Structures are given as structure tokens and as C-alpha cells.
């Protein structure tokens, strides 16, 4: 919970807004006016496709698996990581998977049909909602995608714990090689976490790319215009950079 609060406070739009409020408190001083200027410029920059794509590009360096792939090298199980939940959407009558998680389990179901490997879903209940995200994932996979789930890891609260608790399940069943499904920009941190947990043979299965197609590298005037999608991309990319550094310090 504290990590979620801290990231909301630091990452855009929270960080620039906080700077702006501080600047307004000290407006009569030169430093206050400077803070407001920095806040406006940083919020504008964070909201542009130009900056957001520049931040995302190094994170989305892993290539997608071939759509026609039938057998990845040295894989025993497909591991799908949770990406959050939707809280009490009225049309479902209770918690369900978020859009970020839905794109992951959709791809996981596709890979399960292609590769005929068992599925393991990983995600706990960090918000204390009473049901783990992995249980919601398994429910949607089985009831809506027709993809059987072999194992449910429901204790983890973050990506590193995803890796540790999943590694325990793998070791219990004598499995070592995984296909790892997550968002493209999240996979570098995820792979590092799994290797830290002792899972060295990881086939990345990225989904949900933000980056543009390689054959469309043009800079457009619209890349300088702010929009909410770019702000989301910037915030998510910065979250990955900060998370990677933090994990290396504490783990």
C-alpha cells in the first residue's frame, strides 16, 4: 500500500502537481516561481508522445514471439503475471481482472492453445480485497477463455514476490524452464526478478507493446502535443525504471 501511495505522489501527474503546489506556497520567492515553472514544463513533457516513447523504447527491447510459433525452446510451463484488478465493476457484480491483466491472460490463453503447456498464474492480494488477483485470473481464463490453469500463486504482493513464490511451485514439481507473459515494458524487470529467484531459463513472451511499428519511425508535429495516453506511458515507464533500481537495492 505504501509503495502505491509513494509512486502516485512521485510519478506524473502527482510529482509535477506537488512541485507546483509547493511553488505556489513560496510564490513571492524566486525559488517558488522556479518550482512552478519546473512543474509546468515537466508535466507538459511527460504528456507528450515524444518523451513517453523515448522512455518506453529501451524497456520494450524484447521482440515478440512469432505468432505462428508452435514450440518455444526448452519450456515446461507458461507463467502469467498479474497486472492489477478492477474494483467492483457493476456489470460483473464484484472484483475482476483489470485491462492490464486481461491483455496478459488473453495472450497466455493463446500460448496455452498453441504450445499445449500448463498454465501458472501469479498475483496476490496486496490491497486486501479478500481474493487474490491470481484467483480472478484463473476464473477468467477457465470460464471465458477455456484455458485450464494448473497452478495458482496467490501470496505475492509485487513482481519480486511473484518470482520467489512461483519459483517455489516450480521447484516443488521439478520444473525449471518457463515462458513468462507480461507487458512488454514490464518484462525486463520481471526477468531480472525471476533470475534473482533462481529461475534462469526464461523465454520472454511480451504483450501490450506501446512502441510504434519499426517501419514508422517518423517524428510528427503531434508528438509535441500533450495527451493523456502519453502521460500514462510516461508514468508506467518511470515506474519500471524506479522499480528496477529499488529491487536491486532491497533484494
Phi and psi at 229, nearest 5°, equal -65, -40
pLDDT at 145: 98
Give the model confidence (pLDDT) of 157-170 as tens digits.
999 999 999 999 99
Compute the average pLDDT of residues 209-231: 84
C-alpha distances out from residue 66 to 1, 26, 69, 147, 181, Å: 38, 56, 5, 20, 14
CB neighbour list of residue 137: distance below 8 Å, 6 or more residues apart: 80, 82, 97, 101, 105, 121, 123, 149, 152
More confident residue, 10 or 132: 132
How many structural domains does the chain have?
2
Q: Quick one: DSSP state of residue 58?
A: T
Selected residue with higher pLDDT from 60 and 8 = 60
Q: pLDDT tens for residues 18-73?
A: 999 999 999 888 889 999 999 999 999 999 999 999 999 999 999 999 998 866 67
**Across 82-109, average pLDDT:** 96
103 and 155, same domain (yes or no): yes
| Residue 117: per-residue pLDDT | 95
Q: What pTM, to 2 d.p., does this model score?
A: 0.93
- 216 falls within a domain: no
User: What is the domain extent for residue 125?
Assistant: 77-207
162 and 232 part of one domain: no
Mean pLDDT of 179-193: 98
> Is 44 a member of any domain?
yes
170: domain CATH number?
3.40.50.620
**For position 155, what pLDDT does the model report?**
97
Cell of 199: 529461475
Indicate if 122 and 201 belong to the same structural domain. Answer: yes
Amino acid at each position: 500500500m505504501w509503495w502505491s501511495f509513494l509512486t502516485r505522489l512521485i510519478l506524473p501527474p502527482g510529482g509535477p502537481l506537488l512541485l507546483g503546489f509547493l511553488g505556489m506556497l513560496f510564490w513571492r520567492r524566486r525559488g517558488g516561481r522556479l518550482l512552478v515553472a519546473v512543474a509546468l514544463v515537466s508535466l507538459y513533457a511527460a504528456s507528450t508522445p515524444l518523451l513517453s516513447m523515448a522512455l518506453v523504447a529501451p524497456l520494450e527491447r524484447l521482440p515478440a514471439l512469432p505468432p505462428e510459433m508452435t514450440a518455444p525452446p526448452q519450456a515446461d510451463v507458461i507463467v502469467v503475471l498479474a497486472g492489477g484488478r478492477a474494483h467492483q465493476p457493476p456489470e460483473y457484480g464484484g472484483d475482476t481482472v483489470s485491462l492490464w491483466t486481461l491483455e496478459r491472460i488473453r495472450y497466455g490463453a493463446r500460448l496455452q492453445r498453441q504450445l499445449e503447456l500448463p498454465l501458472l498464474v501469479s498475483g496476490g492480494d496486496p490491497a486486501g480485497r479478500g481474493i487474490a488477483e491470481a484467483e480472478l485470473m484463473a476464473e477468467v481464463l477457465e470460464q471465458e477463455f477455456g484455458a485450464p490453469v494448473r497452478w495458482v500463486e496467490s501470496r505475492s504482493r509485487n513482481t519480486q514476490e511473484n518470482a520467489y513464490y512461483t519459483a517455489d511451485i516450480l521447484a516443488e514439481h521439478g520444473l525449471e524452464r518457463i515462458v513468462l507473459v507480461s507487458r512488454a515494458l514490464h518484462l525486463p524487470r520481471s526477468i531480472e526478478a525471476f533470475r534473482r529467484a533462481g529461475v534462469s531459463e526464461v523465454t520472454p513472451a511480451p504483450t501490450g507493446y506501446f512502441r510504434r511499428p519499426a517501419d514508422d519511425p517518423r517524428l510528427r508535429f503531434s508528438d509535441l502535443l500533450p495527451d493523456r495516453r502519453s502521460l500514462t506511458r510516461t508514468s508506467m515507464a518511470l515506474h519500471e525504471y524506479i522499480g528496477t533500481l529499488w529491487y536491486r537495492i532491497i533484494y
